[in-house]
Amino acid sequence: MSKNMSKNKQQHQKHTGNYIIRLNQPDDIAFSNIAQNAIVTGATLPSGFKVSNTGNWVIKNDFIVDKETLSKLGFKEV
């Protein structure tokens, strides 16, 4: 398998969840207070932190959580 094909295959592998990011910058926490349940996949937060393009990320309290992780933790779909 060529190097390009191997790299391309890795980019299309299924995202498996189990990801939680705790917000600790004041500007990000203030943003999270007004953006609860917002989808932030690929977004740049006020602090400059870039949310991953892989998965489906949402704001939940002071966290950014992958939706698959929310499901595994028993939260209803947002």
In sequence order, the 6+-apart residues with CB closer than 8 A to the CB of 33 are none
Q: Is the pTM of this model over 0.75?
A: no
Decide: helix, strand or coil at residue 55.
coil
Best CA proximity match to 58, nearest among 46, 75, 47: 75
Q: What is the pLDDT of residue 15?
A: 46
Q: 35-74: per-residue pLDDT in tens?
A: 999 999 999 999 999 999 998 999 999 999 998 887 887 7
Checking if the pLDDT of 9 tops 60, the result is: no
Domain ranges in the chain are: 16-72
CA atoms of 67 and 56, how far apart (whole Å): 6
Bridge partners of 44?
50
Q: Tell me: pLDDT of 32 over 60.
A: yes
Would you say 54 and 15 are in contact if contact means Cβ atoms under 8 Å apart?
Answer: yes
